[in-house]
Amino acid sequence: DAGVIQSPRHEVTEMGQEVTLRCKPISGHNSLFWYRQTMMRGLELLIYFNNNVPIDDSGMPEDRFSAKMPNASFSTLKIQPSEPRDSAVYFCASSGTANTEAFFGQGTRLTVV
Amino acid sequence: AQSVTQLDSQVPVFEEAPVELRCNYSSSVSVYLFWYVQYPNQGLQLLLKYLSGSTLVKGINGFEAEFNKSQTSFHLRKPSVHISDTAEYVCSVTLSGSSYKLIFGSGTRLLVRP
């Protein structure tokens, strides 16, 4: 298995633009997580899905952030409009069952200028 | 609500010395515990996990951790570190059962010096 695949690996965009981050979880996994990592806050859970349904989005910072999971093999995290403070590394992770570890993608480094 | 605390943001240590990275959690129910390692510009990789059974868990790269329920701790140890162990180490917890939500500590940067 290729593992969790995220795209793009790097994204540089101007403030105010829409940004879409993509994630393909490991086949057969039924939980998917989006995390944001910054030097100041470390790893923060933004949202997680179970069987394509959003279970907890309490970590989504504000209405500019939205996430979807239209099917078991694809998820997106969208920021509209983007702001410089959104600059961070965004990780996607997936998990098969409740007592196994989450497998992480390589992350998307987002820079908003 | 569950939470994870890693009090040490950075731990400098000399090569071949022992190291302990501390992790404490809070939860009113049973938990599963994990340690991840993150090398520069990479994603997180599982080091070891505690689900049940023996409280001493051995992981990759010579690391081990001990689950202490009374102290709600899951400290990570290695008897002799190498330069290549320099990385970010992140402790995480999730509730056992159906409510699966992996929560991470703030991470500890292990800096191994020659």
Using CA coordinates, name the residue in chain A closest to B42.
Answer: A106
The pLDDT, as a whole number, for residue A100 is 73
Mean pLDDT of B20-40: 89
- 3-state secondary structure (DSSP) of residue A21: strand
pLDDT bucket at A32, cuts 50 / 70 / 90: very high
How many other CB atoms are there within 10 angstroms of residue A91's CB atom?
25
8 A C-beta contact, residue A75 and residue A68: yes
The pLDDT, as a whole number, for residue A99 is 61
B42 touches chain A (CB under 8 A): yes
The pLDDT, as a whole number, for residue B112 is 97
The pLDDT, as a whole number, for residue B82 is 96
Best A24, A43, A90, A106 member to test B by mutation, with max B CBs in 10 Å, is A43
Contact assignment for A98 to B98 by CB distance below 8 Å: yes
Cβ contacts of B27 within 8 Å, gap of 6 or more = B2, B3, B72, B93, B95
Best B37, B47, B101 member to test A by mutation, with max A CBs in 10 Å, is B101
Mean pLDDT of B37-51: 90
Residues B67-108: pLDDT tens digits?
999 999 999 999 999 999 999 999 998 876 555 677 888 899
The pLDDT, as a whole number, for residue B96 is 63
A54 touches chain B (CB under 8 A): no
Residue B1 has pLDDT above 80, yes or no: no
- Candidates B52, B37, B109; CA nearest to A98 is B52
Residue B40 has pLDDT above 60, yes or no: yes
Q: Which residue is listed with tokens 């790893």?
A: A43
pLDDT bucket at A94, cuts 50 / 70 / 90: very high
Q: Which of residues 91-110 of B touch A (CB under 8 A)?
A: 94, 96-107
Residue A90 has pLDDT above 80, yes or no: yes
Mean pLDDT of B40-51: 89
Mean pLDDT of A97-111: 86
Nearest-angstrom CA–CA distance, A79 and A83: 9
Mean pLDDT across chain B: 90
pLDDT bucket at A37, cuts 50 / 70 / 90: very high
